[in-house]
Amino acid sequence: MKKIIITLDGFSSCGKSTLARQLAKELNYVFIDSGAMYRAITLYFIREHIDCNNTEQVKRALSEVNLSFEYNPLTGQSDMYLNDENVELLIREMVVSERVSEVAALKEVREFGVAQQQQMGIKKGIVMDGRDIGTTVFPDAELKIFVTADPAVRVERRFKELYEKNPAITIEEVKRNLEMRDYVDSNREFSPLRQAADAVVLDNSDLTKAEQLQIALQWAREKMLG
């Protein structure tokens, strides 16, 4: 079977990373969470008090950022590293979620992220999830999946996830953040979130993780045989 590139794009919290990770495990492919890269860059910008309107500061900050994914034997998953520091947990916090869409909209940041992501796909055999993976990063990908889920379901899913780590979080806060990011991500100038014309849509509002995997695996195998 030939090695392919699989992209998953869509709004926040519809289960893209979950499905991408499942697919990569089944197919023995590399899984890349492109959102983690933008989150790590954002963490660096927050720590260094980078002004997003100051292009020189943005460029300097990016020249100081080194991103890598490293396998964590305790979880069996890859963790995001920022300049050799494991930031996997820190980048999921609300302070980063509040700023990430603003940072990810910058032209310099997009060029930085897209170039590294394209490099990761050179040998194919990769599943990458994000917002612009099927449109900008890998426009020739063999399988493009646009994942959707009912907005209320998405808020509930993300709330459950965050509440386990921080019981002070409210459902209103999560809802506001998702709505804000979905709006900014869809309306930015560079690489806005769009469904690629040749993407297949997977609405998983009423699907279990096992069910969504079976559907996507079927699509992937058809492309791998073709």
Which residues define the annotated binding site for ATP? 10-18
CB of 226 to ligand CDP, least distance (A): 26
Which residue of this chain has its Cβ atom nearest to ligand CDP in the complex?
35
Helices (H) and strands (E) in the chain, counts: 8, 8
Residues that bind ligand CDP (CB under 6 A): 12-18, 34-35, 38-39, 100-101, 104, 129-133, 157-158, 161, 181, 185, 204, 207-209, 212
Q: Which helix (H) or strand (E) holds 129?
A: strand 126-130
CB of 34 to ligand CDP, least distance (A): 4
Answer for the pair 122, 32: CB distance below 8 angstroms, yes or no.
Answer: no
CB of 225 to ligand CDP, least distance (A): 26
Within 10 angstroms of residue 183's Cβ, the number of other Cβ atoms is 13
Within 10 angstroms of residue 59's Cβ, the number of other Cβ atoms is 11
* Binding-site annotation, residues: 10-18
Q: Return the closest-CA partner of residue 185 out of 84, 86, 70, 104.
A: 104
CB of 1 to ligand CDP, least distance (A): 26
